[in-house]
């Protein structure tokens, strides 16, 4: 879409929302069912696009993108009527007789900016929430995943109400023009630097934002954990999508006496999952583009690799890589890795993990492998993270009853399930009073007696 056409196209969405069509619960459910049908009809095409963009295996694509969205849609359809109903709250004595409640209403026209690492899920999961809440939406897929972006731009207008939803392909120029528009909410998934740009642009219109960013998510592995299970779950969560996951463990913290067995267990699981040569594994992905590939190579340039490290620039292939005790001031430990490299940091004692984490920006996720409940409680109460998963990696994302979002530099706001519905809704406060009884103590002329009565009922 040409940038000159963006403002008029967005204006048409505003006008369609004003007509009230999207407020209908029946309309919302129909759009969600249509989206579900689109996914069912196009599953193979989606797999092919994700394979082209990221080298994703079909099963991984189903697990992290297609199947995830199908579950999300079913959950929203099941609960939509309840979410959109008035939510009763108590009414104080001074306002009796009367009733009070929160009435969810759609915000209006929203902007959803997706990310390239899960280009299908991270664009459409927020859309599920926006539809459920009754909004119109502009969708900006990532230009760094061109096959998926093109597919979405083709499919969505075929299945959804084209008067309510608009897909805008393009790069910086198109995104900049979109950010000039006065949306009612913006949800952005991506990096911190662009997140700041989005927030600055939103401030011009006092537009609320949800920023799903990232950061260096720590993984604490205590010596009392089930090592084989922990290693399998760490490898699964770290090297899914070749490490290009915002909630993937970015580095491991363990105690010195346990780093050797842990490294051996991780190597064993990597070989079990991807073979002795992951370059030939159909289940192992590729780096999104040459720029990110070069960035990852630079992260390794000054490191002593303990395992892996092989690369093929022509294929954007980087092997699963382990680095033991890298310098803490190196690029590898100062920036979010977002790739298939996992540093393992040896601490004098496992309790030192808490100040190590607290001396750094708040992460999007924190992982803890331990059987020690006292230590578990210490980590939970003395650290801050968007989400915590104990004795597994990333599985909290599979529960639509849990919100997903960051804290501090890792983001603001949250979605998934009802949390997403509420993000794209205004919970309007409503009080309805009865006319049959009126407390006149609040009316002038005031007196000491009236004040005494008001204090008594308040």
Strands 321-324, 209-212: pairing is unpaired
What DSSP state is assigned to residue 445?
S
Q: What residues does 88 pair with on adjacent strands?
A: 101
**CB atoms < 10 A from the CB of 303, how many?**
20
Q: What residues does 428 pair with on adjacent strands?
A: 103
**CB atoms < 10 A from the CB of 20, how many?**
10
Which one is catalytic: 246, 255, 299, 336? 246
| 169 alpha-carbon distance from chain centroid | 21
Q: What residues does 155 pair with on adjacent strands?
A: none
What torsion do the CA atoms of 62, 248, 420, 378 make, to the nearest 10 degrees?
Answer: 140
**389 catalytic residue (yes or no):** no
In this structure, are residues 322 and 331 in contact, taking their beta carbons and an 8 Å threshold?
no
In this structure, are residues 46 and 60 in contact, taking their beta carbons and an 8 Å threshold?
no
In this structure, are residues 274 and 43 in contact, taking their beta carbons and an 8 Å threshold?
no
Which one is catalytic: 212, 299, 336, 389? 212
Q: How far apart are CA 164 and CA 132, in angstroms?
A: 13
Is the bond preceding residue 97 a cis peptide, omega within 30 degrees? yes
Q: 407: helix, coil or strand?
A: coil
Task: Give DSSP secondary structure letters for 275-302.
Answer: -S-GGG-TT----S-HHHHHHHHHHHTT
Q: Max CA-CA distance within the chain?
A: 88
**CB atoms < 10 A from the CB of 397, how many?**
19
In this structure, are residues 348 and 204 in contact, taking their beta carbons and an 8 Å threshold?
no
Radius of gyration of the chain measured on its C-alpha atoms: 25
Q: 265: helix, coil or strand?
A: helix
**173 catalytic residue (yes or no):** no
Residue 145: closest CA among 338, 312, 336, 289: 289
Strand locations in 174-263, DSSP E? 185-189, 209-212, 218-221, 251-255
Q: How far apart are CA 121 and CA 114, in angstroms?
A: 9
Q: How far apart are CA 300 and CA 242, in angstroms?
A: 16
What DSSP state is assigned to residue 393?
S
Q: What residues does 324 pair with on adjacent strands?
A: 344
**Catalytically active residues, by annotation:** 212, 246
């Amino acid at each position: 879409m040409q940038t000159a056409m963006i403002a008029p196209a967005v204006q048409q969405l505003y006008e369609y929302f004003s007509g009230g069509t999207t407020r209908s619960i029946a309309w919302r459910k129909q759009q969600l069912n249509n989206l579900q049908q689109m996914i069912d009809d196009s599953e193979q095409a989606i797999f092919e696009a994700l394979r082209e963009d990221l080298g994703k295996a079909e099963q991984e694509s189903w697990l992290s993108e297609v199947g995830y969205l199908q579950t999300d849609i079913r959950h929203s359809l099941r609960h939509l009527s309840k979410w959109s109903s008035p939510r009763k709250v108590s009414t104080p004595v001074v306002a009796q007789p009367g009733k009070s409640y929160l009435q969810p209403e759609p915000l209006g026209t929203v902007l959803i900016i997706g990310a390239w690492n899960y280009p299908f899920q991270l664009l459409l999961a927020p859309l599920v929430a926006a539809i459920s809440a009754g909004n119109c939406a502009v969708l900006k897929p990532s230009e760094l995943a061109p096959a998926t972006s093109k597919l979405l731009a083709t499919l969505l207008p075929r299945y959804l109400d084209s008067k309510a939803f608009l897909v805008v392909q393009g790069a910086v120029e198109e995104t900049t023009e979109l950010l000039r528009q006065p949306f009612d909410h913006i949800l952005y998934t991506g990096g911190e630097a662009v997140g700041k740009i989005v927030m600055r642009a939103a401030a011009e219109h006092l537009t609320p934002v949800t920023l799903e960013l990232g950061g260096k998510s720590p993984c604490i592995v205590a010596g009392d954990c089930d090592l084989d299970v922990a290693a399998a779950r760490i490898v699964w969560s770290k090297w899914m999508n070749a490490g290009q996951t915002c909630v993937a463990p970015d580095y491991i913290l363990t105690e010195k006496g346990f780093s050797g067995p842990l490294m051996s267990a991780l190597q064993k699981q990597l070989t079990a999952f991807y073979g002795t040569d992951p370059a030939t594994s159909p289940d192992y992905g590729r780096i999104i583009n040459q720029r990110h590939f070069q960035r990852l190579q630079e992260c390794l340039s000054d490191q002593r690799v303990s395992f892996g490290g092989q690369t093929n620039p022509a294929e954007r292939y980087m092997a699963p890589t382990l680095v033991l005790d890298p310098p803490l001031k190196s690029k590898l430990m100062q920036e979010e890795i977002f790739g298939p490299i996992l540093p393992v940091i040896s601490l004098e004692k496992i309790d030192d993990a808490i100040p190590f984490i607290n001396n750094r920006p708040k992460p999007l996720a924190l992982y803890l492998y331990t059987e020690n409940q006292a230590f578990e409680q210490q980590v939970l109460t003395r650290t801050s993270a968007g989400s915590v998963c104990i004795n597994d990696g990333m599985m909290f994302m599979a529960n639509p009853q849990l919100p997903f979002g960051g804290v501090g530099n890792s983001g603001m706001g949250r979605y998934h399930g009802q949390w997403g519905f509420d993000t794209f809704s205004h919970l309007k406060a409503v009080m309805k009073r009865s006319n049959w009884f009126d407390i006149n103590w609040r009316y002038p002329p005031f007196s000491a007696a009236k004040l005494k009565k008001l204090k008594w009922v308040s």
